[in-house]
Structure 1
Amino acid sequence: MRTPSWISQHLAALRALLVLTVLTGIAYPLVITGLAQAPGLRDKANGSVVEADGRPVGSLLIGQAFTDADGNPVPKYFQSRPSASGYSLDATSASNLGPESVQDTLGDPALKDSPDGDGGKQALLTQVCARSKAVGELEGVDGRRPYCTADGLGAVLRVFYTDGMSGKVTRAVSVNQACPATPFLAVYQGVAVECGKFGEDYGKGVLVPVRGDAPEQSAVPADAVTASASGIDPHISVEYARLQAKRVAAARNLPLDRVDDLIDEYTTGRALGFMGEPAVNVLDLNLALDRV
């Protein structure tokens, strides 16, 4: 008796399903897993997990915060670079903000005590300014940067002209400094500068970043104020590590030379000898300090 064609087709499909399931769902994963456990690959394949006192404390591949319960930096530890994702593995990401992100969204003063926040949002410029100010205060250096106010906001005006984009200045607003703040600049081209007000539309004004008198080269390096693309970069620059060395040495009662030597020891070179820059793995360095 001849098998109906539709049954033959279903049996062929079933055989193909079983063969492909064995090959791609069982054999292939087992082979790859076996290769990943080979010497030289095992640690990275397993997440490069680091243990201290018999318990896992992190991964050499994943950045983490070295802060207390209130989010303040722990003085005896080197700090990682900022993270747009809060070092979360569930939502690794960048902020997606670019160089044109200079004007903040002011929060609603009526919601300042709300657990959900006031609806305000910082532009990239203000984030950089605030981080640089905080790092400068923590490390005891000048954290000023160009286009930043003294209170750690983007130094940006919305300037209104008689002819739209040109002409005589009729109004100037420091849009990132919410009232009742005192504007970072008292007068702009003969017009008194106002503080920003929530809900007011300044879209017709021209955005004018003001450089200020900060030095051209800030004492706070770029990776101390900018997040990585993934949000979980485990490394910092050698420059940022050197900046933190004095604080860490003082907190641990160690000679500064000893801390500098550890920075040198845990500095990795450029990938393949030419890609990227030398960097320091923060977790590796902090664990080495704990062993001293």
Structure 2
Amino acid sequence: MSSSRSSLRTAGVALRAMAVITVGLGLAYPLALTGIGQLAFPAQANGSTVELDGKTVGSTLIGQSFSDADGNPLPEWFQPRPSAAGDGYDAGASSGSNLGPENPDLIAAIEERRDQVAEFNDVDPGAVPVDALTTSASGLDPHISPEYARLQVARVAEERGLSEDDVAALVEDSVQNRNVGFLGEPTVNVLELNIALDGLKG
């Protein structure tokens, strides 16, 4: 009898402990962090979305294509780096190509991209920077190098009837420096650059 009561008491303690932990860690803690995030960092907590004229047009954290329905890049926009995520920039299928540097498929893809980018921007193939040829590890990188952005200035300016100097100045204003001054490389967020570009009048 005593053993049975002891077992019931132990089970009761275990159930109460589980209930307290479930409420504390499963409900109260996540709700508290969500509330802090919404109050202190609302943009980041909601996906760093970008709105234009009241409509969400993307996120500063996830790259997207600027192409027509057939996947052809639109010449009036700055173009992002290639993506291997699903059909491209699919946030539900984040991935790189995972091909090694000596893989013949990767080498062929890089050569094909080099020719395409060079022709699209009317530049020498040797001038095409590496980020225009390779995908990021996530396939969702929203940034390109300042070099790749500068390479596209003449094309974008011509397509939009803008001064090359004005478009070049916009690119320089969009360059984000290294994190805390020394981590990573300078980058340009393509979505933010294209939104700023849309504000220039030709």
TM-score of the superposition, structure 1-length normalised? 0.65
Q: Which amino acid aligns with 2:76?
A: K
Aligned pair partner of 1:243 in 151, 166, 177: 151
- 1:116-195 counterparts in 2 under 5 A? 123-143=105-125
- What does residue 65 of structure 2 align with? 65
Residue of structure 2 equivalent to 1:219? 127
Following TM superposition, by how much is the alpha carbon of 1:54 offset from its aligned partner in structure 2, in angstroms?
1.1
2:178, 2:15 → 1: CA distance?
Answer: 51
Q: Deviations over 1:236-268 (max 9, x none)?
A: 000000000111101110000110111111110
Question: How far, CA to CA, are the matches of 1:38 and 1:269 in structure 2?
Answer: 27
Q: Distance in 1 between matches of 2:132 and 2:162?
A: 24
CA distance in 1, matches of 2:83, 2:11: 52
Counterpart position of 1:266:
174
Report what 1:5 is aligned to: 6
**Which residue number corresponds to residue 19 of structure 1?**
20
In 2, Cα distance between the equivalents of 1:131 and 1:5?
A: 73
Say which SS state the counterpart of residue 120 (structure 2) adopts. Answer: helix
**Higher Cα Rg, which structure:** 1
- The RMSD of aligned alpha carbons is 1.3
What is the distance in 1 between the residues matched to 2:187 and 2:62?
14
Deviations 1:31-75 (A, max 9, x none): 211221234x22112111001121100000100000000100111
CA offsets 1:119-138 (integer angstroms, 9 cap, x no match):
xxxx1101111111110110
Matches of 1:127 and 1:6, distance apart in 2: 67
Does the residue aligned with 1:90 lie in a helix, a strand or coil? helix
Q: 1:219 Cα deviation (Å)?
A: 0.8
Q: Partner of 2:138 in structure 1? A: 230
Q: Matches of 1:96 and 1:260 in 2, distance apart?
A: 34
> Which amino acid is the alignment partner of residue 154 of structure 2?
K
Higher normalized strand content (fraction of residues)? 1
Q: Please give the secondary structure, in 1, of the residue aligned with 2:91.
A: coil
Structure 1 residues 174-199: Cα deviation after superposition (integer angstroms, max 9, x where no partner):
xxxxxxxxxxxxxxxxxxxxxxxxxx
Q: 1:100 & 1:93 partners in 2: Cα distance?
A: 19
- State the TM-score, normalizing by the size of structure 2: 0.93
One-letter code of the match for 2:31?
Answer: L
1:75 aligns with 2:75: yes
SS at match of 2:166: helix
4-13 vs 274-283, greater mean Cα deviation = 4-13
Residue in structure 1 matched with residue 44 of structure 2 by the alignment: 44
Distance, in Å, in 2 between the alignment partners of 1:126 and 1:35 is 49
Structure 2 unaligned residues grouped into runs of 5+ = none
Identity of aligned residues (%): 54
Partner SS state of residue 51, structure 1 = strand
Give the secondary structure class of the aligned counterpart of 1:5: helix
Residue 256 in 1 paired to residue 167 in 2?
no
Q: Equivalents in 2 of 1:22, 1:59: separation in Å? A: 33
Any runs of at least 4 consecutive aligned residues in structure 1 with deviations exceeding 3 A, and if so which?
none
SS at match of 2:51: strand
2:56 is paired with a residue of what secondary structure? strand
Q: Give the 3-state SS of the residue equivalent to 2:92 in structure 1.
A: coil
Unaligned 5+ runs, structure 1: 103-122, 144-217
CA distance in 2, matches of 1:19, 1:42: 29
